[in-house]
Copies of this chain bind each other. A is one copy, B any other.
């Protein structure tokens, strides 16, 4: 069997830095966790919050702390650091090989979708963002880790896509038709959903948007673990100048 995790992420239109932070970490007892945080507002301030939260969570998960405890710790940490004045949404999605389950921890009103054989469940139980008070707990769901499941989680930028134009993205129907049609790889699902969300905002995302898709597939071609990261960036003037007129000094190594 193979666990496949894919993420696709874009910034709010005309804002260079995304306020969403997403990291993947290996679980010390086997498996993988994806941590997604969305800091209050957007831009640099939001990024500082979301990356502080994600850093706290991945540090704890890497030490073997359970997901629920890591989410609570991140909430208390944010509460203490920012005096309860700043909030963040936090999702932790783990494929835990020790327990043989997928664990979904939500501190985020935005729903998470779980597609199993022939049905799609929407996890949308009440859930509070972290950081605003003591004793904030995540809403936790645990399902068996088995082939054929697909889990989709995302930030509110995707959930609210099209809001300004009186439209709403129906992730459930879209996901259902995607899986029914061709059962595509996780990255295609993430890309398709993100592209739909961007289109709903007329090509100019109204907020940072991040989508994570976790799939468990039965086939297993080899015992090789793989990871790919693709990070588009705009070349600075200095980089362009350097490409046009490389200096001797810069081309030498050491």
Q: Which residues of A contact B (CB under 8 A)?
A: 1-11, 21-26, 28, 30-32, 51, 55, 58-59, 62-63, 95, 97, 100, 114, 116, 121, 123, 125, 141, 143-147, 186-187, 190-191, 194, 220-236, 238-239, 242-243, 246, 250-251, 253-254
Give the contacting residue for A28; candidates B51, B146, B233; CB below 8 A: B51
- Is the beta-carbon distance between B23 and A26 smaller than 8 angstroms? yes
Instruction: Give chain B residues whose Cβ lies under 8 Å from the Cβ of A236.
Output: 100
- Is the beta-carbon distance between A100 and B51 smaller than 8 angstroms? no
- Is the beta-carbon distance between A10 and B223 smaller than 8 angstroms? yes
Tell whether A2 pairs with B233 under 8 Å between CB atoms, given A8-B226, A223-B11, A225-B10.
yes
Instruction: Give chain B residues whose Cβ lies under 8 Å from the Cβ of A51.
Output: 26, 28, 62
Instruction: Give chain B residues whose Cβ lies under 8 Å from the Cβ of A143.
Output: 250, 253
Chain copies in the assembled complex: 2
Docked CA distance A221–B10 (Å): 13
Docked CA distance A186–B5 (Å): 18
List 6 tightest A-B contacts by C-beta distance, closest first: A5-B229, A9-B225, A226-B230, A3-B231, A7-B227, A2-B232
- Is the beta-carbon distance between B55 and A186 smaller than 8 angstroms? no
Docked CA distance A9–B31 (Å): 14
Instruction: Give chain B residues whose Cβ lies under 8 Å from the Cβ of A58.
Output: 58
Instruction: Give chain B residues whose Cβ lies under 8 Å from the Cβ of A123.
Output: 253-254
Instruction: Give chain B residues whose Cβ lies under 8 Å from the Cβ of A230.
Output: 2-5, 225-227
Instruction: Give chain B residues whose Cβ lies under 8 Å from the Cβ of A228.
Output: 4-7, 186-187, 226-228
